Amino acid sequence: MSRRSNGPYLGLYPIRAPRAESRTESLAQHAGRVSCRQPTELDGVLKRLERDGLVERVMDDGDKRARVVRLTPHGLLFWTDLQKRIYQFYAQAASTFRFDERVALVHYLNSLQRELMKVRLEKPQGTAVKKKRR
């Protein structure tokens, strides 16, 4: 099921950000993309982001039953700064690469990402881990 909003969606929670493309995906689908085994793990991440004042959950304007997550002004500043720092990190790391080496790297990383998305591992046999008692 897809529905339009004012920004990209993070799980069941749309994230409203300026100049962002609109799309919807389930919490389970997004949890898989961000290496969370369960949607509840993503909820824990959102709670920590809320605690740190980076996001807030509000009611969706179009569907009062839905809750959306949007960046706070502090979160938007943090995200903007983080994007700059990530760019600087990779620019410095690849500063000695020639143009054709950069193009090849991007090609191989994109190929690797496509193949990683196809990986499906079976659950290990007979290696159950006992939960620790608290």
User: Do 23 and 2 meet the contact criterion of CB atoms below 8 Å apart?
Assistant: yes
Sheet with strand 67-71: strands edge to edge: 9-10, 13-16, 67-71, 55-59
Q: 88: which 2 tokens?
A: 């600087």
Quote the pLDDT of residue 64: 77
Quote the pLDDT of residue 38: 64
DSSP 124: P
DSSP 72: -
- By residue range, what is the domain housing residue 106? 73-118
Q: Are residues 52 and 89 in the same domain?
A: no
**For the segment 114-130, what is each residue's pLDDT rounded down to a tens digit?**
999 899 888 888 766 66
Q: 36: which 2 tokens?
A: 């969370």
Could you tell me which of 79, 75, 67 has the C-alpha nearest to residue 43? 67
**For the segment 69-117, what is each residue's pLDDT rounded down to a tens digit?**
888 999 999 999 999 999 999 999 999 999 999 999 999 999 999 999 8
Q: Are residues 97 and 37 in the same domain?
A: no
Compare 1 and 26 and report the one with higher pLDDT.
26
Q: Using CB atoms within 10 A of its CB, is residue 14 exposed (0-12), middle (13-18) or buried (19+)?
A: buried
> Mean pLDDT score of the chain, rounded to an integer?
75
Q: Are residues 8 and 63 in the same domain?
A: yes
* pLDDT at 17 > cutoff 80: no
Quote the pLDDT of residue 109: 93
Residue 16 lies in a domain: yes
Residue 134 lies in a domain: no
Q: How many residues does the chain have?
A: 134
